[in-house]
A = this chain, B = another copy of it.
Amino acid sequence: MKKTLGQLADELGAKLIGDNSAVVDGCASLDKARSNELSFVYQSKFLSDLKKTKAGVVILKEEFHIHCPVNALVVKDPYLSYACAASLLTFDEYEGDFIHQSAVISDPELVSKNCRISANVYLGKGVILGEGCFIGAGCVVEDNSVIGAGVRLKPNVTVYANSQIGNNVILHAGCVIGSDGFGYAPTKNKTWTKIPQIGRVVIDDDVEVGANSTIDCGALGDTYIQKGVKLDNLVHIAHNVSIGEHTAIAACTGIAGSTVIGKHCTIAGAVGIIGHLNITDDVHITARTLVTRSISESGAYSSGTPMQKNKDWLKNTARFKQLDKITKTIIALRKAGRD
């Protein structure tokens, strides 16, 4: 998508220093950008790249402009403005009314206008698609699921029956929405009786779910992913979890059943959160933390131990097994010292 720098300045609310009529049609890093590409800088460590850049225009803060050899778009938050500019320049190839002949659509009259449905898609009975959706090749949406407007399903996504998906949601390839929760009742013979999982997944507007992530349906009632939540790849959300607005969860994290997470939380990669907890708003959890109790106070939380050379670690980890004993020795020593 081509834009003049004048257009970009208007759309970003930026101050243009340079050629109003110059045109860019893509983005690249400072060191690789050519004269038809936009770049950006937001950290001083990239100033040496800025000085040598051949980009058509650079988004930057006022204070960095002195180092910029090319056109500049001066803004307060270059990182955010770059995100907006890149969206304006990146052509969305998915637009347009098109249904591939190999797609199997049980109820075509429930597909709104301007949808693009790729090869080998299956939409079950009663599936409603809002306007302007893209459904990638190989996606399966089971019966009676409702999908909002402007939704993008990348290839090979599965949406189980009765799921509710809001507007402008993005589901990346291979993710699974609405799979059965892990619910069984133990029997006297130490076997498991399956508890039918008859709730739904409800996903609000502007959610993004990463590749091969899985969100289970509720056992009874719903699993609820609220507005603007962002989930990375290979994330597991169990039945009846609720995730508050604009919370972001990085890859390989798993959240067990019925846990409620507040809004504006940032949960790093490979975190585990056990079931039936309450995590308040504005909590940050660092990578690989295991959360075993509710968190009622905003702030940062962690668990784990630091990486070391294996030979040092072997000694320390062996001592961990004695930590209670060690502590009791110290208490005894201190007591002895006082006597």
Contacts and interface: CB of A to CB of B under 8 A. Distances in A.
Given A27-B198, A122-B138, A269-B256, A317 B309 contact: no
A209 to B, nearest CB: 11
A160 B270 CA distance: 25
Interface centre among A27, A140, A221, A300 (most CB of B within 10 A): A140
Nearest to A336: B337
Interface stretch (A46-54, A64-72, A83-91): A83-91
A27 B323 CA distance: 50
Interface of A: 26-29, 32, 77, 79-80, 82-84, 86-87, 90, 93, 100, 102, 104, 118-120, 122, 136-138, 140, 142-143, 154-156, 158, 160-161, 170, 172-174, 176, 179-180, 182, 184-187, 190-196, 198, 206, 208, 210-214, 216, 220-221, 228, 230, 232-234, 236, 238, 246, 248, 250-252, 254, 256, 264, 268-270, 272, 274, 284, 286-293, 299-324, 326-327, 329-330, 333-334, 336-337
A307 B301 contact: yes
B214 A234 contact: yes
B299 A83 contact: no
Contact of A286 (B86, B208, B310, B329): B310
A180 B317 CA distance: 34
Copies of this chain, tallied across the complex: 3
6 contacts: A80-B185, A86-B196, A182-B210, A272-B288, A301-B308, A303-B306
A182 B250 contact: yes
Given A120-B138, A179-B173, A322 B327 contact: yes
Contact of A330 (B142, B206, B302, B333): B333
Given A100-B104, A251-B238, A301 B305 contact: no
A293 B300 CA distance: 19
Contacts of A230: 182, 184, 192
A271 to B, nearest CB: 9
Given A192-B230, A288-B290, 18 more contacts: A27-B198, A83-B194, A104-B137, A156-B176, A172-B176, A211-B214, A236-B252, A251-B254, A256-B269, A293-B307, A299-B309, A299-B310, A300-B309, A302-B314, A303-B307, A306-B318, A322-B327, A323-B323
A207 to B, nearest CB: 10
B220 A28 contact: yes
Contacts of A319: 323-324, 326-327
Contacts of A324: 312, 315-316, 318-319
